[in-house]
Structure 1
Amino acid sequence: MNLVYNSDSFAVVQISLEQADDMPSSSAEGASTSHAEVVRGGYEIVDKAAKKGIFIKGALAERFREGVEALAGDGEPSTEDIDDYIAGYTQLAQQPLILH
């Protein structure tokens, strides 16, 4: 787990899970891949004001990452720019935040 963004409005955590060595995986070409190459996971996005969160993975997580990289590629984005971008994803959030 890696906290990649935290503002007054949102928190974004990147979650990467490596597949165990004893669980071989096949790539698209059918060849077996090594432990270090097999990573899965996604991003947990928390809307602090709405007290809701969402976990995105796969193609949606890839699109999220590419969008963040595009923002950063245009120079130093403001907190407002990043928050506006993240807000588009939190509209999908259904899970209420619960403290244990």
Structure 2
Amino acid sequence: MQMMYNSPNYCVVAFPAQEDSAALSEGGYEIVAKNLKRGLFIHGPMAAHFQKSVQKLVKQPPDFAEMDAFLGQFDDWMTHPLVLH
């Protein structure tokens, strides 16, 4: 796993593809909203779409506010409470 982004409000960790795991056969991303104390794991087509969107966003280095606003779009989907972060 590799931390891709870490701000006071959000953290994004990339998980590489793993042949021995059906859920991670294509890799995935964990997105954590620190202020909400909830997270989301995405994989498959949603992870591919997320990756393309992030690549477009970082063509010109965004600041924390821009990146946090982008990640804020996922807040409603974050249903997993944080236990150890």
TM-score, with normalisation over the residues of structure 2? 0.87
* In 2, Cα distance between equivalents of 1:52 and 1:5: 16
Q: CA deviation at 1:98?
A: 0.9
Larger relative strand fraction:
1
Question: How large is the RMSD of aligned CA atoms in angstroms?
Answer: 1.6
- Give 5+ residue unaligned stretches, structure 1: 21-38
Counting matched residue pairs gives 81
Give the distance between the partners of 1:48 and 1:10, measured in 2 at CA.
6
In 2, the alpha carbon distance for the partners of 1:40 and 1:67 equals: 17
**Superposition pairs for residues 59-70 of structure 1, below 5 Å?**
59-70=45-56
TM-score of the superposed pair, with normalisation by structure 1: 0.74
- Measured in 2, the distance between the counterparts of 1:86 and 1:45 equals 8
- For structure 2, the 5+ residue unaligned runs are none
Runs ≥4 in structure 1, deviation > 3 angstroms? none
Q: Deviations over 1:34-83 (max 9, x none)?
A: xxxxx52200000000000000011111111111111112x111111100
Q: Which of these two proteins has the greater Rg computed from alpha carbons?
A: 1
